[in-house]
Amino acid sequence: MRNAWLIARRELAAYTRSMSGYVILAVTLMVDALLFNTYALEGVRKSGEVLGRFFYVCSGTTMVASIFIAARLLAEERQAGTLPLLYSSPVRDVEIVVGKWLSGFLVVGALTLLSFYMPMLVLLDGRISLGHVAAGYLGLLLLGAASLALGTLGSAFAKNQTLAGILSGCMLVGLLVAWILAPVTERPLSDVFTALALHGVHFTPFQAGVIHLRDVAYYVLVTWVALFAATRVVEARRWR
């Protein structure tokens, strides 16, 4: 997958040359900081509860930021008319998709790590479990990877970045709404909706500092399925 890494480096260079990447990072970190101060630290709480609320807040901003980051990955190439040049290069479709997604994931990873100082502030007036912090950040990275993969799929379908953001947002909201539908439906539909929910049951253990293999497998599966579908879309467009 050497070509995928080269594409990822190209995309990262594009992020550093434009203001969009910096704006997304700055706005997301600002919102994280505001919510950390007004929500996670509200009242007198145990350190574990503060961390849980912090990761809950960050999960929302991570999903939104991932959609904005992914919107440009493939849709921008079509909008600018440079996609045929990418098709004519000696790279496979899967390498194009994975390379694009990888560049976005590195940006999401940087965004996640830049928020590390916030849970460390708890040490000023309490104690924290490093295991809890590690589990929470692992959950954020997995959630970001899955959200970004959904965004990549939306970007593969769309002709421009605006439409890509709308399609990606709809797919993301659809998986989030599954958690709301689960309690109001009968089995086996309720079990299906619970299993499909992107946040709900799958992120809550990470938020509490617990890692379950089933939750890791779920996010990896969502990422793989979305990237696989995006690859098929790119292949179909190549031969049009």
Q: Which of 73, 75, 93, 99 lies closest to 235 in space, CA to CA?
A: 93
The predicted model scores a pTM of: 0.90
Query: Residue 140 in contact with residue 59, Cβ under 8 Å?
Result: yes
Q: What is the pLDDT of residues 130-143, one digit of tens each?
A: 888 999 999 999 99
**Would you state the pLDDT for residue 161?**
83
- Annotated domain spans of the chain: 2-238
98-102, 140-144, 232-236, range with the lowest pLDDT: 232-236
Mean pLDDT in residue range 62-72:
89
Residue linked to tokens 């040359």 = 17
Q: Within 10 Å of residue 30's Cβ, how many Cβ atoms?
A: 11
Mean pLDDT in residue range 202-220:
91
Q: Which of 28, 35, 11 lies closest to 111 in space, CA to CA?
A: 28
Query: Residue 140 in contact with residue 62, Cβ under 8 Å?
Result: yes
**Which letter, b or e, does each residue of 39-60 get, where b requires 16 or more Cβ atoms within 10 Å of its Cβ?**
ebbeeeeebbebbbbbbbbbbe
User: What's the mean per-residue pLDDT of the chain?
Assistant: 84
